Structure 1
Amino acid sequence: MAEENKTNNVTPTTFRMPDGRSLYMYGGFTGEPAWPWLEPNQVHSYSHRRWHPMRREWVVYSAHRQSRTYKPPANDCPFCPGAEDGELPFQDFSIAVFDNRFSSLQKDAPKPEPVPGLDLPVDAATGNCEVIVYSSDHKASMASLPLERRELLVKVWGDRIRSLLEVPAMQVVMPFENRGEEAGVTLHHPHGQIYGFGYLPPIIGAMAQSFREGYDLSKLTKLEQYVVADTPNASLLVPPFTRFPYELWIVPKQFRPSPAALSTAETTDVANLLARAANTYDTFFGRVCPYVMLVYSAPKGFEDVFPFHIQFQPLLRAPNKMKFIAGCELGAGSFLVDILPETAAQNLRNVEVRS
């Protein structure tokens, strides 16, 4: 098991918002925040889980999220400096992380009452949801952030994963980014989310079991026909078992359970490949490519076998053709892919990406 690399730690400046939420500022920022529009001691709405007996999985219900912010104009973005009623009332900042005002999961979620008239298992939707804002610049993106900001981002992921896993009920933490409206983005300011789960979701649980049984993810970095870009410490590659056309993964060559365990050199290589992936997609498709980026790290109890890695799942199969999750995928769980992984890797490897 890799030990946490102490040189890779970052310490945020922490603020308490009037409604009780926490705000963590990483890197530099200017200004003292104030939120006159927030009411103190707001009454929280809680989510709950119901068991799906046929799919054998939990479904989370968060009715209060129907009123969340939806596609505001650029001049009214709540993540921009100086925005009226904004979440981040600073003049400038590097990276900000704060509790989501419309959280799907709550650390103190109570045990729900049974559903009247139904013999259906229910449980608390325990967890935590945070927003991570990559920059004060509304027009920035993973493709355009400077290297040092991407390095800081990797470190912030590690710090938030470590911090949230210190909560006894928390089982696993997954940062992610939805890029583009096709991926469900409702705020265009560059940002992602960090979900901590008080239970092991089924996909992460299946991955953890695979790693427990001995699957070695790092062996993919040795398969040259699938590697799109290589660095001394990590590879950007198309896995030979893609579910999405042109899927790309960032895989460290040495086992690390979390981004907090990366060395300084490994952090730099992962940060370089983050921009390489986003720029490769945009160049290859000739447009801003919508994608879902998933940052996976070890759940509790799997720190010795579950490797940190990042998956990009693009929602295009050609410049003007979406990859829709439709009947076969939704109804049967059987994915249909139009591009062979070997062809996808060759096509993406041939892309000339501007530095």
Structure 2
Amino acid sequence: MNAIRQTSTHLADGRELIYFDDAGTAERERRADARALDARPATPMMRFDPLSAEWVTVATARQGRVHLPPAAFDPLAPQSPGNPSEVPDDYDVAVFENRSPSFGPSTADEVPDPFAAVAAIGAARPAVGRCEVVCFSPDHTGSFGTQSSLRARTVVEAWAERTRALSAVPGVAHVFPFENRGVEIGVTLHHPHGQIYGYPSVPQRIRRIAQSVEEHGPDLFADLLDSERQGPRVLIAGEHFTAFVPFAARWPVEVQLMAHRQVPDLAATNDAERAELAALTLRIARGLDALYDAPLPYMAGWIQAPVDAHRDDIRLTWQVSSPRRAVDRLKFLAGSESLMGAWVADIAPEDGAARLRDAIAKADETHPVEPLVGAGTEAAAGA
């Protein structure tokens, strides 16, 4: 099988655009972006909340982003005479810098201590970093789970390669690839896509995991995986990864897919691991849609180690959660969960795991994932 091809170019306002061609796609010339675009917005500012010890970004340019446009004006589809979208030409997978980012476009020479617990009251600093959009397909509708095995493999390669690239961007402390799916989650575009954030500080979730590692010891992920693999909540046991419903799952639907070896991020995976990731994430995503025989709203993202810390003890894990607790009901995060962080689960994790195993089996039967040999990346010269 030919390699996945990676080609870098730039949009009319200077933002980077990277095409990832499926293995076997013929090499092609691509049109340049001929639009006349306004200058990029200024880098937002971050403000420190001294009560939670969290940084909050104030990115007012995001107020004007596109909201659920008709297919004829899809900003993530290939450009056409009537649709001056963000991607100038046809593509398999396309990644580009967000036009209304939460972080960037400015970078920084160095990252302030990403694990600093406190800052002064009233502290503020530029929200440097990078925000990218990952288009899974040129189609107007769909999600990761609607892609072919070949395309899923290309998406995994894009996640891994962009994790590597963003980890080298000055000022980036942590890289987070993720996908939001469904208007119930707040998605503003139906086009199948995800995003990647290059944060200028380590997010609270990762900081809490790092604290747990320090309290338990460096084998926390290994011990957790051993415990889960012996329990009743395993969904899929692969050669390199195991999928399970966590013992203390918060959401009505919640899955974790954890690496068997200590690998800190997607960039550190090998070809066999990436091939298995493409197959397992696709099977899980299709199983989620089989739960209610309808597209399931969800949030999916990758737990990865920070760029310069905990590389030997925070382990790569894909996490997926959905607020749908019944075919016609959603879980809303009200006072206890939102204000106090004290969760109450509506569905026992063991029951959720049984339902998900049945749904994955149903999806495997009705919409099986095609076997695929892994393919690496071939970098092409920038256009």
CA RMSD across the alignment:
2.2
Establish whether residue 56 from structure 1 lines up as the match of residue 53 from structure 2.
yes
Amino acid at match of 1:309: T
Closer, same or farther in 2 for the Cα pair 1:342/1:170, shift >3 Å? Answer: same
Q: Could you say which residue in structure 1 is the equivalent of 2:71? A: 74
State the identity %. 32
Q: Could you say which residue in structure 2 is the equivalent of 1:246? A: 253
Q: How does 1:84-163 map to 2 (within 5 A)?
A: 84-90=83-89, 92-108=90-106, 120-163=122-165
TM-score, length of structure 2 as denominator length: 0.83
User: Equivalents in 2 of 1:313, 1:125: separation in Å?
Assistant: 27
Closer, same or farther in 2 for the Cα pair 1:48/1:340, shift >3 Å? Answer: same
Amino acid at match of 1:270: L
Contact 1:60-1:125 at 8 Å conserved across structures: yes
Closer, same or farther in 2 for the Cα pair 1:320/1:31, shift >3 Å? Answer: farther
Offset of residue 197 of structure 1: 0.7
Contact 1:51-1:122 at 8 Å conserved across structures: yes
Q: Could you say which residue in structure 2 is the equivalent of 1:168? A: 170
Amino acid at match of 2:255: L
SS at match of 1:97: strand
User: Equivalents in 2 of 1:343, 1:67: separation in Å?
Assistant: 42
Offset of residue 25 of structure 1: 0.6
Q: How does 1:120-269 map to 2 (within 5 A)?
A: 120-212=122-214, 213-214=217-218, 215-216=220-221, 217-269=224-276
Q: Could you say which residue in structure 2 is the equivalent of 1:36? A: 34
User: Equivalents in 2 of 1:283, 1:264: separation in Å?
Assistant: 29
Contact 1:172-1:200 at 8 Å conserved across structures: yes
User: Equivalents in 2 of 1:73, 1:183: separation in Å?
Assistant: 19
- 4+ residue runs of structure 1 moved beyond 4 angstroms? 28-31
Contact 2:210-2:314 at 8 Å conserved across structures: yes
Amino acid at match of 1:322: L
Offset of residue 250 of structure 1: 1.2
Q: Which runs of 5+ in 2 are unaligned?
A: 109-119, 369-383
CA deviation vs aligned residue, 1:295-342 (integer Å, no higher than 9, x gap): 121112221111111000112011111111111111111111111111
Closer, same or farther in 2 for the Cα pair 1:285/1:220, shift >3 Å? Answer: farther
Offset of residue 30 of structure 1: 4.9
Amino acid at match of 1:101: R
Contact 1:105-1:127 at 8 Å conserved across structures: yes
Offset of residue 61 of structure 1: 0.1
Closer, same or farther in 2 for the Cα pair 1:16/1:232, shift >3 Å? Answer: same
TM-score, length of structure 1 as denominator length: 0.90
User: Equivalents in 2 of 1:31, 1:224: separation in Å?
Assistant: 52
- Most deviating of 252-261 and 71-80: 252-261
Offset of residue 51 of structure 1: 1.3
Contact 2:20-2:93 at 8 Å conserved across structures: yes
Offset of residue 31 of structure 1: 5.1
